[in-house]
Structure 1
Amino acid sequence: MNILVTGGTGFIGRWVVGRLLKDGQKVWVIDNLANSSLDNLKEYSGNEHLQMVKIMDLKDRESLIELFRETTFDLCYHLAASINVQDSIDDPETTFNNDTIATFYLLEECRKQHVKIVFMSTCMVYARASDEHGIHEQSPIKPASPYAGAKIAAENMVLSYFFAYGLPVVVVRPFNTYGPYQKTGGEGGVVAIFIHNKLKGEPLNIYGDGTQSRDLLFVEDCADFVVEAGYSDQLNGEIVNAGTGKDISINQLAELISAGKAPIHHIPHIHPQSEIQKLLCNYQKAEKILSWTPKVTIEEGIKRTENWIQSTFHRKDRSKS
């Protein structure tokens, strides 16, 4: 198939691209590089199936129209987005433009060619887990940040194109994804930041009391889920979750990563009003329809992520010498 991946140089995007190339698909990548790097795709630079990597912003509507004029796509994975909760609180307009307006522009091009679109949403649209069985696709949503609000708005636009035009669409809501290639700074995830700080001999800073919990999904499991959601016709017009079905408190996570080798500090929360106390995924729908289940345990995932972050330190040291 001819497949377009927006945000394909990003953390999850580069793993989705890798899986598609492994499957022998022809892949086009567009990204504005606002939160990523072309280096993330260096591993695939010689791959005969990688057709194009183009630096482009989805809000540049003329360039988007031109791209769809040049190529007939079969499938589009839409992963490009502003993803930082605090940034969305500080500057909601940028997040809305990148996550909602840009999605509308892409939907219009997909509609003209009847290109299936897989829209990457987020578990941050949900209210807290209501019972021990976890959050399922019909669980209550709560736009506790402009990021969540922009994603919910975009989800509704995507689903409206299924109902109004018969455009095949899927909304995917992965839970907290971590692993190699995730940023280790302020825009990264908690696992990457904690590991980075431990390796640097710096404290692991926990916002609030650390009792908040997360369902942590390894990035390769997430990429497999996203790709499979695009391949299946059974999920058209549907929302589907992916997670592990197990949550861990941030305090427990810090202890697991620190292993007694780094101090753990509690600091005031930067956005307590947008915190979701408990995120626990019920992924039965993905398991039933896609036969998808997560394969990587939290212990194995942390080990692989730590090995990768350590390797980036070595690469930086070599580049300085």
Structure 2
Amino acid sequence: MNILVTGGAGFIGRWVVGRLLKDGQSVWVVDNLANSSLDNLKEYEDSEHLQKVQIMDLKDREALKELFREVSFDLCYHLAASINVQDSIDDPETTFNNDTLATFYLLEECRKQQVKMVFMSTCMVYARAVDEQGIDEQSPIKPASPYAGAKIAAENMVLSYFYAYDLPVVVVRPFNTYGPYQKTGGEGGVVAIFIHSKLKGEPLNIYGDGTQSRDLLYVGDCADFVVEAGYSDKLHGEIVNAGTGEDITVNQLAELIADGQAPIQHVPHIHPQSEIQKLLCNYNKAEKQLSWTPKVTTQEGIRRTEQWILETFHRKEPNQS
């Protein structure tokens, strides 16, 4: 198939691209490099199946139209987005434009050619899990940040194109994804930030009291889930979660990563109003409809991530943040 991946030079995007190339698909990548790097795709630059990597902002409607005139796509994985919750509170307009408006522009091009879209949403749209059954696709949503609000708005636009135009779409909501190639600075995830701090001999800073919990999904498992959602025709017009079905408090995660080798300290939360106290995924739908289950344990995923960060940053550039 001819497949477009937006945000394909980003953290999850480069893993999705890798899986598609492994499957022998013809892949086009677009990315504005605002929160990503072409270095993430170096591993694939010699692949005969990687057709083009184009630096482009999806809000450039003329460039987007030109791309769809040049290529007849079969499938679009839409991963490009502003992803930082804190930034969305400080600058909601940028997040709305990148996450909602750009999605609308892309939907219009997909509609014209009937190109299936897999839309990458987030677990941050949910309210907290209330029990150990976890959060399923019917659980209440709560846009506690402009990021979550922009994603919900985009989700609804995506689903409306299924009902109004019979466009095949799927909304995917992965839980807290981590792993190699995730940023280790402010826009990175808690796992990468904690590991980086430990390897630099710095304290692991926990926002708030650390009792908030997360369902940590290894990025390779996440990419497999996203790709399979595109391959399947069972979930058109639907929303589907992915996670591990297990949560861990931030305090427990810090202790696991620090392993007695770095101090742990609590710091004031920047935007406590956006915090979700308990995130625990119920992925029964993905298991039933896609035969997908997570394969990498938290301990193994952290080990792989730490090894990558060690090799990428600390052996070559000890002072890189």
Q: What is the TM-score normalised by the length of structure 1?
A: 0.98
Write out aligned runs for 1:269-308 (5 A).
269-308=269-308
Map of 2:26 onto structure 1: 26
Task: Give the residue type in structure 1 aligned to 2:167.
Answer: L
Mapped to 2, the partners of 1:309 and 1:22 lie a distance apart of 24
Q: What count of residue pairs does the alignment treat as equivalent?
A: 320
Q: Are residue 51 (structure 1) and residue 51 (structure 2) matched?
A: yes
Partner of 1:143: 143
Which residue in the other structure is 1:114 paired with?
114
Runs of 4+ in 1 over 6 A off after TM superposition: none
Please say if residues 199 and 314 of structure 2, whose CA atoms lie closer than 8 Å, have aligned partners that are also in contact: no
Deviation digits for residues 189-224 of structure 1 (CA, Å, limit 9, x no counterpart): 000000000000000000000000000000000000
User: Residues of 2 paired with 1:130 and 1:73: CA distance?
Assistant: 41
3-state SS in 1 of match to 2:24: coil
Structure 1 letter corresponding to 2:83: I
Per the TM alignment, residue 156 of structure 1 is displaced from its structure 2 partner at its CA by: 0.1
Alignment pair present for 1:259 and 2:259 = yes
> Aligned letter for 1:122?
T
Identity rate of aligned residues, in percent? 86
Q: Work out whether 1:134 is the aligned partner of 2:134.
A: yes
- Residue 269 of structure 1 aligns to a residue whose secondary structure is coil
Contact 2:16 2:224 in 1 (8 A): yes
**Helix, strand or coil at the partner of 2:154:** helix
2: CA distance between counterparts of 1:68 and 1:134? 40
CA–CA distance in structure 2, aligned partners of residues 314 and 206 of structure 1: 22
| TM-aligned CA deviation for residue 313 of structure 1 | 2.2
Paired residue secondary structure (1:89): helix
| Matched letter for residue 113 of structure 2 | Q
**Partners of 1:195 and 1:127 in 2: CA distance:** 28
Distance 1:43 1:315, change over 3 A: farther
Distance (Å, rounded) in 1 between the aligned partners of 2:207 and 2:308: 25
CA distance in 2, matches of 1:35, 1:289: 32
Unaligned runs of 5+ in 1: none
Residue 238, structure 1, aligned to residue 241, structure 2:
no
- Distance in 1 of aligned mates of 2:317 and 2:179: 22
Distance in 2, Cα, partners of 1:42 & 1:308? 15
In the superposition, relative to structure 1, how do residues 310 and 2 fare at CA in structure 2: closer, same or farther (>3 Å)? same
In the alignment, the residues of structure 2 paired with residue 274 and residue 182 of structure 1 have an alpha-carbon distance, to the nearest angstrom, of 22
Matched, 1:158 2:154: no
Q: Give CA deviations for 1:206-257 in whole Å, capped at 9, x if unaligned.
A: 0000000000000000000000000000000000000000000000000000
Asked if 1:248 corresponds to 2:248, the answer is: yes
Q: Distance in 1 between matches of 2:303 and 2:317?
A: 21
Decide whether the 8 Å contact of 2:88 with 2:146 is kept in 1.
yes
Deviation at 1:314, TM superposition (A): 4.9
Inter-partner Cα distance in structure 2 for 1:115 and 1:249: 40
Tell me what 1:192 maps to. Answer: 192
Pairwise mapping of residues 196-207 of structure 1 onto structure 2 (< 5 A)?
A: 196-207=196-207
Q: Paired residue for 2:77?
A: 77
Q: 1:58-107 deviations in whole A, cap 9, x for unaligned? A: 00000000000000000000000000001000000000000000000000
Query: Secondary structure of the residue that 2:209 maps to in structure 1?
Result: coil
Deviation (angstroms), 1:47: 0.1
Secondary structure at the counterpart of residue 278 of structure 2: coil
CA contact (8 A) 2:8 2:30 kept: yes
Match of 1:176 in 2: 176
Please tell me the residue identity of whatever aligns with 1:253.
L
Separation of aligned partners in 2, 1:255 and 1:105: 44
TM-score (normalised: structure 2):
0.98
Q: Secondary structure, in 3 states, of the residue corresponding to 1:316? A: coil
Q: CA RMSD in A?
A: 1.2
Write the distance in 1 (CA, Å) between the matches of 2:229 and 2:317.
40
